[in-house]
Structure 1
Amino acid sequence: MKRVLVVDDDPTVSEVVAGYLDRAGFAVDVAADGPAAVAQAASRPPDLVVLDLMLPGMDGLEVCRRIRTAGPLPVIMLTARGEEEDRILGLEVGADDYVTKPFSPRELVLRVESVLRRAGASTALRSEAAEPWLRAGPLALDPTARRATRDGSELALTIREFDLLEFFIRHPGQATSREQLMQRVWGWEFGDLSTVTVHVRRLREKIEDDPAHPRLISTVWGVGYRFDPPRSQEAEVGHGR
């Protein structure tokens, strides 16, 4: 049984969400503020956290950072408004998804199931026989250990940033729309495409020499994005860094 930690200072929201998750077959823990959420996650590690952005004592962004110091953990952020700024704040700290209040509890359960399926698929891949490293210019990526380096230095990537980089390296020179990336990287058939935009921007900040003038991940206007490894070293599969 997968365990979900619900963090919200509104007891009505917590009760309703916990009830729907319980009926969907999840074990549910509840915390009403930031410090309690961090303590709860440490004492009873969840498989996923449903996390309100606005919390007393410690906001959701700081909670997200702290609970992830122990390792990758799927997070769905709850935002009070539908404004883009709130969504981007959650996505930029590595939230795997977000839901805007007011929301349908049934939709939230579907999002939880979707994110957990994706996380489970990544875990299953890691447990299989070791795959060779993928290399593209200054980048090297180990799909089995889920490690990535740039010029030999370790990259600190979120779960979704790693998935996105792996997709790009496996499909060099291919123009891919944001809709296609959402389907093939996130596994979603629908969703807010700003999710993809934010993650591409964050990934550029970590792998490009000049993120304002990207050379590895190009924008294809009217289409989406294209990964362009240096011509002298096309993306390849190989062992080692």
Structure 2
Amino acid sequence: MRAPRQKAVIAALTFDSGIGLGARCVDGAYELLFSGLPPVMTRLRTLNFSHDGGPARETSWSVGTDGTSAFSDFPAPMARRLRAGGRVEVTVPAQDGQPAKRFVLDLPRSEHAIDETLTACGRPLSDPHDVNLVSSLPATGVAGVEGGYRWVIQPRPEFPSRALREKANTGSANLSCLVRPDGRLHDCVVETERPAGAGFGQAAIDGARRARLGPASDDSPPVAADALVSFRTNFYLAGN
């Protein structure tokens, strides 16, 4: 579906179970979302995601205002994975008193539809890094790191002036970055920023330039050159 007035290109599927799956580019912002999920009251949720019989992977999602929709923190890599179709299994962990649920979705091949959404937002149709992309580092300021690394120097981004002008008091950005042997980050890509267009993505990249990673412990292997890591940076104004 194309909506020129909204500068939107949307590829969507609806299943008998009530689940909806959509990839969309809206005014330059790329999103991949599930709808019809059990409602939650939190801002973030975890979905265990498996594609074509592969291992289940824990994926991070932002919760929509209705509590039943969820937006991928890394939409373009996931959309590229889904474009060939296949069987998707999504397990929703128990949360807020709701029991765990499992959905099995048979996706048709949809290269053309998904490619249109990617192209509309200037996202590549393939990226060799996708296979290694996992949400491996916690948000800035959160203790403990999964994936074998830890923050030696945490990202310290400045609150973007554009967000202040637009009265956006909170925001977030998810980045994927390559790592140099000395632990510094480079070639960072903004996978998502919310709200879009308020400058949080660029501010997160600027903050990441001053950050550094190290092994999780003294006994851990050194940081691998050109390892791919991903993390979320949350922005708050004092008093919010």
- TM-score, normalising length from structure 1? 0.30
Q: Which of the two has greater strand per residue?
A: 2
- TM-score, normalising length from structure 2? 0.30
